[in-house]
Structure 1
Amino acid sequence: MAAFGHTFPFYAGPKPTFPMDTTLAIIITIFLIALVTFIVILPGIRGKMRLFWLLRVVTSLFIGAVILAVNFSSQWSVGQVSTNTSYKAFSSEWISADVGLQVGLGGVNITLTGTPVQQLNETINYNEEFTWRLGENYAEEYAKALEKGLPDPVLYLAEKFTPGSPCGLHRQYRLAGHYTSATMWVAFLCWLLANVMLSMPVLVYGGHMLLATGIFQLLALIFFSTATSLTPPCPLHLGTAVLHTHHGSAFWITLTTGLLCVLLGLSVAVTHRMQPHRLKAFFNLSSDANPMLEWSPEEGGLLSPRYRSMAESPEPQDIPLSEASSEACRKEGHRREPVCAL
């Protein structure tokens, strides 16, 4: 190509991009549909329980959506810089562009946007993803990017995360993503169990599961921070500037949600110990639903059957018999005496 038209290696054309990650869009859409469904049936709830019920639903859906969405987010470690850098290989042409790097639990996302977008008679707007999830080969994806002829800044950042790079970023972030993702999935299961238990007369155990949900989220943050700090930072030089990374929005929103779950779990446990009746009223659960069963706060709110003593049992009632039945009982009194006595 360079011999015939003096054209350097090029990318066939920018792929059409969606304003946000499609996986995150699907997750957010599902939880929004669930929220709208609950709001539609809200008028059927009477009194102040309507507000309590709406508060529980919104809080629970928010926690579940965050736990699930951050697993697929690329905003765990981010960085962006405006620089003047080379655009294509074997070319002396430079461009002015914004270069962005987003590192998630399953890979990296690299963006290149020209300032302005139209430079060198081209539209400079790239958004490329390189993954290391199970079943994905990062080295093969990088080789395909070389074959496509992606711009130099994209290839430069992608090369830093290859398994053979001396920076060691691949092993560092892949290890962090593996353990962080596994811990977040455990937190998601704890959230599911918490919802089930809070809808039953076992509120204290639902609070415990909320507490476990928050603890596992905080553990995931510890794993990510520890694993990403195992090796010294690798300088990322892009033209005349250096790209620095820091914790992204997914990290901070996970921290906020984890602290919220811990606070809610402790609140449920303390309220159950101090004022269990108000806690049951908040969750629309009443201990008067079955007078033969009582809930014991010491046993965590489980149904504890307590049998009545003879003194507490109601007096037996005498049921009058008809004349025909009384006559039959008198005739067979010597054989069915105990039955007639009843």
Structure 2
Amino acid sequence: MAVFGHTFPFYPGPKPVFPVDTTLAVITTIFLTALVTFIIILPGIRGKMRLFWLLRVVTSLFIGAVILAVNFSSEWSVGQVNTNTTYKAFSPRRVSVDVGLQVGLGGVNVTLTGTPVQQLNETIHYNEEFTWRLGESYADEYAEALEKGLPDPVLYLAEKFTPRSPCGLYNQYRLAGHYASAMLWVAFLCWLLANVMLSMPVLVYGGHMLLATGIFQLLALFFFSMATSHTPSCPLHLGTAVLRTYHGPAFWTTLITGLLCVLLGLVMAVAHKMQPQRLKAFFNSNAEDPVLDWSPEEGGLLSPRYRPMAESPEPQDIPLSEASSEACLKEEYLLEPDCAL
């Protein structure tokens, strides 16, 4: 840097920032594709079953998408502040910036945006991620950030979450993230099993798995809250302001979805005891020995209607032709002596 006449650390410029998280974009695209596919075939389902199918599919896809999205989200604990702070190391010049901190289950994301963006003849717009997932080293990523010479606010917040920091944030949030992520993966597995069982005539077990889905989501929130609640007080001073964190959208979305799953599971359990026929009608099935009746009025192959044996038509005697009748009488006449013997 001395060759080029730079007294302070040289910043090559911020890297391009995608407007949204790529992982969340992929998850959203997959579930929206599934929803659009169902909407395309929805007109083939006739009658009231069309509304029931739409409600079931939309609710199920929403729950599955939320479980996956929050597992990869970086907004479990968030904070943002506008402040005047130093921008480069060893430089007294200050800039007006918005500093954001997002803590997820797998790492920390720090954003730095100038107000205005163009200051000191530079574009101040940074979005840096430091992860502690299995197989990745937070300390190595922080060392790389030091080598690149990232702005002071980014390095300051990232340093607070390093393993050697006296704040102890690394161990608390890393442990909380691992346990919460494990619970969410179990909840996702329960969601898959619930969908399989609800598509089969085992509605009560599907309701139990849906209840388990909600319980494991609430357990993820419990582990995250318990681990982070013991975090020692470590004020984050940025210039003249203090950055404070609070539970973010991912936390509250998980809470709402978990309570929804628990409520639906309890409703299905109560309905199975009190109104089993209505529950079976909602899921288009019958617990008795069914006879499939592919009625075009009810949606054809896409929406089979089940009819119990009690409602099945009774067997009818089919009249035989004259030739068949004479043959039967002749056979009975020839067999009579044998019967007499």
Whichever residue aligns with residue 31 of structure 1, its letter is F
Normalised by the length of structure 2, the TM-score is 0.87
CA offset at residue 286 of structure 1?
A: 3.1
Distance 1:213 1:288 in 2: 28
Contact 1:109 1:127 in 2 (8 A): yes
Aligned pairs, how many?
319
Distance 1:48 1:57 in 2: 15
Residue identity over aligned pairs, in percent, reads 78
| Number of the residue aligned with 2:112 | 112
**Structure 1: unaligned runs, 5 residues or longer:** 293-306, 309-313, 338-342
Do residues 27 (structure 1) and 27 (structure 2) align? yes
Query: Residues 1-342 of structure 1 correspond to what in structure 2 (within 5 A)?
Result: 1-2=1-2, 4-287=4-287, 290=290, 322-324=325-327, 326-328=329-331, 330-331=333-334
CA offset at residue 315 of structure 1?
A: 9.5
CA offset at residue 200 of structure 1?
A: 1.3
Contact 1:2 1:8 in 2 (8 A): no
CA offset at residue 220 of structure 1?
A: 0.5
Name the SS for the 1:41 alignment partner.
Answer: helix
Q: Give the RMSD, CA atoms, in angstroms.
A: 2.5
Distance 1:315 1:37 in 2: 42
| Number of the residue aligned with 1:299 | none
Distance 1:83 1:3 in 2: 34
Whichever residue aligns with residue 209 of structure 2, its letter is M
CA offset at residue 48 of structure 1?
A: 1.4
Name the SS for the 1:155 alignment partner.
Answer: helix
Q: What are the superposed Cα offsets for residues 85-139 of structure 1, whole Å, 9 maximum, x if unpaired?
A: 1111111111110100000000000000011100000000000000010110111
CA offset at residue 330 of structure 1?
A: 4.9
Distance 1:200 1:4 in 2: 72
Whichever residue aligns with residue 262 of structure 1, its letter is V
**Aligned CA distance change for structure 1 residues 83 and 91 (closer, same or farther; 3 Å):** same
**Aligned CA distance change for structure 1 residues 126 and 328 (closer, same or farther; 3 Å):** same
- Judge which range, 315-324 or 132-141, deviates more: 315-324
Name the SS for the 2:97 alignment partner.
Answer: strand
Name the SS for the 1:9 alignment partner.
Answer: coil
Whichever residue aligns with residue 63 of structure 1, its letter is I
Distance 1:315 1:127 in 2: 75
Contact 2:163 2:170 in 1 (8 A): yes
**Aligned CA distance change for structure 1 residues 100 and 334 (closer, same or farther; 3 Å):** farther
- Judge which range, 322-331 or 130-139, deviates more: 322-331
Contact 1:99 1:153 in 2 (8 A): yes
CA offset at residue 272 of structure 1?
A: 1.2
Distance 1:222 1:198 in 2: 28
| Number of the residue aligned with 1:300 | none
**Structure 2: unaligned runs, 5 residues or longer:** 293-308
